Amino acid sequence: MSQKQTSVSLGKLISYFAGYDSLAHSGPTSVEADETYVGGKRHDGMCGRGASGKTPGVGSAERKGEIRLEVTENTKAVTLDTISTDHIEPGATVMTDEYRPYSHVTRLGYKHRRVNHGKKDFVIGQNHTNTSEGAWSH
């Protein structure tokens, strides 16, 4: 799949899930946040972060609520912070994986729960990012 095809596919996916403007997830609630990389060709054993030709994106999924997906320039902390504050109300519980740019979401006014995918911890009680991750597969 070319980068252009990937962008078109992501655009359709985002339109499907987010058929509305950028209204914030409402009220203190539980929201999963996760980043992804789509498209590009795998080479030299690289996939995900660090692989060339990938388009980064960030998703947030309110438990039993709205899902928001965005194509981004990168997944640096400043980018994730901006998306979080634009789409998630202060006081919400934000569930993420161990990706370092999420490590300070409590400074943004959120409660933070994380799972460590690197240690094969995908679900800990009610803490997981499965909904947000699964949204990208549609």
Question: Which residue segments constitute the domains of the chain, with CATH numbers given?
Answer: 3-135 (3.30.420)
pLDDT digits (tens, 9 = 90+) for 13-27: 544 444 444 334 445
Percent of the chain's residues with pLDDT above 70? 69
pLDDT digits (tens, 9 = 90+) for 35-48: 888 876 665 665 55
pLDDT of 4 > 50? The answer is: no
Looking at residue 138, what is its pLDDT? 61
Q: What is the mean pLDDT of residues 64-72?
A: 87
pLDDT of 110 > 90? The answer is: yes
Taken as a whole, the chain contains a residue count of: 138
Q: How confident is the model at residue 94 (pLDDT cuts 50, 70, 90)?
A: very high
Burial class (CB in 10 A: 0-12, 13-18, 19+), 20: exposed
> Are 82 and 19 in contact, with CB atoms under 8 Å apart?
no
CA distance to 3, 22, 77, 93, 120, per residue, from 88 (Å): 29, 11, 15, 9, 27
**Looking at this protein, which amino acid is placed at residue 10?**
L
Model confidence pTM above 0.85: no
Higher pLDDT, 94 or 4: 94
